[in-house]
Structure formats: structure tokens, C-alpha cells
């Protein structure tokens, strides 16, 4: 009699809990199956494990609620006296072990697959900065930075008049996307310049930390052309939430066209960081520029590389990020100003821009900050004033600046 009771109530509990769990799945969001063979493996693994743990949960809770329903004092139940059962305890030690083995086998297989970066047809080096990404196509001599797009950046400010809901792909759009070919095994080499970042596009199925001083490897193979969006996943300071990753997968033919276009563009422009490496630097980059050219270029560079901390209006964020408007250093001796931007301020968030920007861009940004936000030094900083400091090593640079 009692056993039948327990069975009926137990089954009812299983049914109720199953409905609840299904309901929760129906209401909620789930992981995206993604766009690569690996991401689909991960998705399947996720669904298998989610299914198994849900069933375990339903069974355990059903037993518990059955007991709560039947074995209560208000029903006049006398407590049983058992407090031990070796057989039961052996069973519920062994069965979980078997279930874990069932989960571990496919997990191991997928993981081994992920670790195999051999046979890649395209290598891209990804460098995390506070708070943007740099992409270098190692085989194509293409390199550029990728930062939060203007609209999102505008809408995200406190007191912004632009509603984030009106910005398309709010916080998930960049000024320049990482363009990759479909159906190509791509190896990504991840590192960082300042603090630890983590490069993550959910639809590729993985994230991997970008660590200063180390190079991590990962690979992907995107099958369908499309735009895949993600974000930095490791806390990297103030604007951690504002450094998206956007990958645009195009057909190999379109990719080749894009590569050709980039090469045409970068050879004429000074944005290529690859060309900033001292001796190989083409001469014209050091040529003097007009005030207008410096100010225009300077504003662009400032917005991407400086405005996150020093704000677009140069007002800074006290106390960590000083205001540039009316700043003593900015309005003072150019040599010290150049030194701080080129070599950074060790022990603070002020980065050394010698590896990030070339002399032209630094000169432009310096000129801009010295003549914007109400600063009126009137002087122009030319690339050839910046270059000597960039050629010297850090110690010499510091010595030079202190000698001045």
C-alpha cells in the first residue's frame, strides 16, 4: 500500500518537474550552435550535459518532494528508524561515476580536436590593448586596429542623448572588422600589450585569453559567410565592456580582393603598424606635414587611442586619467610630452605608444592635444621630432628626456 503511494506521488513529481524544466528551457536563451564544426561539437556537448544534469535534477528533486508530500508529521507519519544502507550508498557512488565517464569521453575527443592547430592556411596575430584589438595578417603584411564604433561609443556615455536601443548592434560593432575567408583553417595567435584580455566570438565556439608576454594559439574554420560578433571576456579595466570583436567571413575570392584592396590602401597610409618598425620605415612618413593634416589625423588617432581615458573633450577622468585640457605637461615642453606618449608612464595606465602607433600618428595626436580643448600652444609636432625617441631604446629615451 505504502509503496504504491510512493510510486504514484513520485511519478507525479517527476512529471511536474519535467514540465517545469522544459518550461525553463522554452523561456530562456540557449547557446548558439555557431558557424564552425567545432562550435557545433561544443553545442552538442553542451546539450548532452545539460540534458543529463536536468534528468538527474528532476529525479533527485522528485524523490525529495515525494518525501515532503508523504512523510510529514501532519499526515500522522511515525518516523522510520533506518539510518544506513551500504547497498544504496554503493549504488549512488557507482552510478554517478558511470555517468561522468559518459560525459568525459566526448568532451575529451572534442578538446583534443581543438588543440590541433596544424595545417592552418592563414595566420592572424591578435593583440589586445586597453581597449581595442589589433589584427595582423602575418602572410599578407596587413595590420590594423579594431575599436568600438562611433555610434555605440557615443550612446554609451553617461548622460548620452542617443538611446542605445536606436544604435544598430549596440556595443557589438567596430570601426574595422576582422575579415577572414570561409572554409579555410585559420590559426589565431593571441597576445596582449598591457593587461590580460580574452578574445571571444560565441559563434566560433571558444574564447582564449590574450596574455601579455605570451602567445596563445587557437584555430577556427568558418563555413558560412556572415558577420559574427563577440566581446572581450576577461576584465581588462575601465572599458572592458567596450571592446567588441567582429569577424566578417567572406568567400575566399572576396577575401583575396579585400587583401589586394588593403595593400593598396595601407601602402599609401601611415596606419600600418608593421611599417613603424624603425629602419624599414619608408622615408616619406617622416616628411613634415601641414597644420591641417596633423590636426585632422590627430583627431582621428585621439578618438581611437586616447579618448577612452582622457575623454573626447580632454577632460579626463579623475584621479586615474588626468585632464589634458589645461594640462601643464601638454602645454609645456614638447620633448617631455613626446616622451610620455612614446614611452608611457610605468606604474600607471598610461601606455607606451611606441609599439602601437608610428611617428606620424603620434606627432599628429600630440599636435592635436596641444591645440585642442582650449589648449593653445600653437606649436606643431612633426614626425621627425618623434622618430629619434622611438628609435632609441627605453632607457636611452628616459635618459634623453631627463637630460632635457
Partner 1 sequence: MTDTTAHIDDHHEQPRGIARWLFSTNHKEIGTLYLWFSLMMFFVGGAMALMIRAELFQPGLQLIDPAFYNQMTTMHALIMIFGAVMPAFVGLANWMIPMMVGAPDMALPRMNNWSFWILPFAFLMLLSTLFMPSGAPASGWTLYPPLSLQGGNSFAFVIFAIHLMGISSIMGAINIIATILNMRAPGMTLLRMPMFVWAWLITAFLLIAVMPVLAGAVTMLLTDRFFDTSFFNAAGGGDPVMYQHIFWFFGHPEVYIMILPAFGIISEIIPTFSRKRLFGYTSMVYATASIAFLSFIVWAHHMFTTGMPLGASLFFMYATMVIAVPTGIKVFNWVSTMWRGSMTFETPMLFAISFVVLFTIGGLSGVMLAIVPADFQYHDTYFVVAHFHYVLVTGAVFAIMAATYYWLPKWTGYMYDERLGKIHFWASTISVNVLFFPQHYLGLAGMPRRIPDYSVQFAEFNLISSIGGFAFGFAQLIFVWVVVKCVRGGEKASARVWDGARGLEWTVPSPAPLHTFDTPPIVDDKVAVHKDQLV
Answer for which of 16, 110, 307, 323 binds partner 1 (CB under 8 A) is 110
Q: Is 197 exposed, middle or buried (0-12, 13-18, 19+ CB in 10 A)?
A: buried
Which of 103, 259, 323, 340 binds partner 1 (CB under 8 A)? It is 103
Please list, residue by residue across 252-279, b when 16 or more beta carbons sit within 10 angstroms of its beta carbon and e when fewer do.
eeebeebbeebeeebeeebbbbebbeee
Beta bridge partners of 180: 249
Q: DSSP letter for 281, please.
A: S
Q: Which is nearer to partner 1, 209 or 391 (CB)?
A: 209
Torsion over CA: 145, 197, 35, 182 (sign): positive
Q: Where does this chain touch partner 1 (CB under 8 A) — which range of 80-88, 270-278, 296-304, 378-386?
A: 80-88
Q: Which of residues 234-253 bind partner 1 (CB under 8 A)?
A: 234-242
Among 112, 118, 253, 280, binds partner 1 (CB under 8 A): 112
Whose Cβ is closer to partner 1: residue 107's or residue 274's? 107
The contact pattern for partner 1, residues 192-231, with x = CB under 8 A and - = no contact, is: --xxx-x-x-x--xxxxx-xxxx-xx------------xx
CA atoms of 121 and 103, how far apart (whole Å): 32
Q: Could you give the CA distance from residue 387 to residue 276 in angstroms, rounded to a whole number?
A: 10
Q: In what order do the strands lie in the sheet with 178-181?
A: 178-181, 244-250, 226-232, 197-201, 206-210
Query: Residue with C-alpha cell 591578435?
Result: 126
Which CB atom, from 73 or from 278, has the smaller least distance to partner 1?
73
List of residues 6+ apart from 37 with CB closer than 8 A: 221, 223
**Beta carbon nearer to partner 1, 270 or 324:** 324
Q: Is 105 in the site for partner 1 (CB under 8 A)?
A: no
CB 51, min distance to partner 1, A = 11
Binding residue for partner 1 (CB under 8 A) from 15, 60, 287, 399?
Answer: 60
115/261 with CB nearer partner 1: 115
User: How many amino acids of this chain bind partner 1 (CB under 8 A)?
Assistant: 101
Shortest approach of partner 1 to residue 309 CB, angstroms?
9
Contacting residue, 30, 251, 269, 393, with partner 1 by CB under 8 A: 30
x/- track of binding to partner 1 for residues 170-189 (CB under 8 A): xxx-----------------
> Which stretch, 97-105, 118-126, 331-339, 362-370, contacts partner 1 (CB under 8 A)?
97-105
107: CB partners within 8 A, 6+ apart: 45
Q: What is the rounded (10 degree) CA torsion for 382, 385, 387, 393?
A: -150
Rounded to an integer, what distance in angstroms lies between the CA atom of residue 368 and that of residue 195? 27
Task: Name which of residues 325 to 384 contact partner 1 (CB under 8 A).
Answer: 347-349
Candidate residues 9, 50, 138, 295; the one interacting with partner 1 per rule CB under 8 A: 50
Nearest Cα residue to 128 out of 206, 203, 232 = 232
Amino acid at each position: 500500500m505504502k509503496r504504491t503511494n510512493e510510486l504514484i506521488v513520485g511519478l507525479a513529481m517527476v512529471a511536474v518537474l519535467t514540465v517545469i524544466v522544459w518550461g525553463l528551457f522554452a523561456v530562456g536563451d540557449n547557446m548558439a550552435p555557431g558557424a564552425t564544426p567545432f562550435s557545433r561539437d561544443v553545442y552538442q556537448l553542451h546539450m548532452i550535459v545539460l540534458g543529463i544534469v536536468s534528468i538527474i535534477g528532476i529525479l533527485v528533486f522528485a524523490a525529495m518532494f515525494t518525501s515532503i508530500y508523504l512523510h510529514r508529521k501532519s499526515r500522522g507519519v511515525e518516523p522510520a528508524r533506518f539510518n544506513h544502507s551500504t547497498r544504496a550508498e554503493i549504488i549512488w557512488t557507482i552510478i554517478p561515476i558511470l555517468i561522468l565517464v559518459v560525459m568525459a569521453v566526448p568532451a575529451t575527443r572534442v578538446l583534443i580536436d581543438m588543440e590541433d592547430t596544424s595545417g592552418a592556411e592563414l595566420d592572424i596575430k591578435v593583440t589586445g590593448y586597453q581597449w581595442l584589438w589589433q589584427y595582423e595578417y602575418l602572410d599578407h603584411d596587413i595590420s590594423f586596429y579594431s575599436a568600438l564604433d562611433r555610434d555605440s561609443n557615443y550612446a554609451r556615455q553617461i548622460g548620452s542623448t542617443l538611446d542605445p536601443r536606436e544604435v544598430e548592434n549596440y556595443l557589438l560593432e567596430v570601426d574595422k572588422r576582422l575579415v577572414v575567408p570561409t572554409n579555410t583553417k585559420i590559426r589565431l595567435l593571441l597576445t596582449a600589450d598591457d593587461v590580460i584580455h580574452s578574445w571571444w566570438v560565441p559563434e566560433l565556439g571558444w574564447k582564449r585569453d590574450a596574455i601579455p608576454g605570451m602567445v596563445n594559439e587557437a584555430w577556427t574554420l568558418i563555413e558560412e559567410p556572415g558577420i559574427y560578433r563577440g566581446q572581450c571576456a576577461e576584465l581588462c579595466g575601465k572599458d572592458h565592456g567596450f571592446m567588441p570583436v567582429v569577424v566578417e567571413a567572406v568567400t575566399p575570392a572576396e577575401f583575396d580582393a579585400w587583401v589586394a584592396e588593403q595593400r593598396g590602401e595601407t601602402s599609401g597610409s601611415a596606419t600600418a603598424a608593421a611599417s613603424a618598425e624603425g629602419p624599414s620605415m619608408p622615408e616619406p612618413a617622416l616628411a613634415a606635414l601641414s597644420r591641417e593634416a596633423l590636426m585632422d589625423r590627430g583627431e582621428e588617432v585621439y578618438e581611437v587611442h586616447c579618448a577612452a581615458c582622457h575623454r573626447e573633450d580632454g577632460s579626463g577622468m579623475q584621479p586615474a586619467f588626468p585632464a589634458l585640457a589645461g594640462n601643464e605637461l601638454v602645454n609645456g615642453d614638447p620633448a617631455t610630452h613626446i616622451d610620455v606618449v612614446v614611452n608611457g608612464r610605468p606604474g600607471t595606465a598610461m601606455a607606451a605608444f611606441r609599439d602601437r602607433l608610428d611617428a606620424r600618428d603620434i606627432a599628429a595626436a600630440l599636435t592635436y592635444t596641444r591645440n585642442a580643448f582650449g589648449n593653445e600652444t600653437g606649436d606643431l609636432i612633426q614626425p621627425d621630432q618623434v622618430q629619434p625617441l622611438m628609435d632609441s631604446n627605453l632607457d636611452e629615451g628616459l635618459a634623453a628626456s631627463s637630460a632635457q
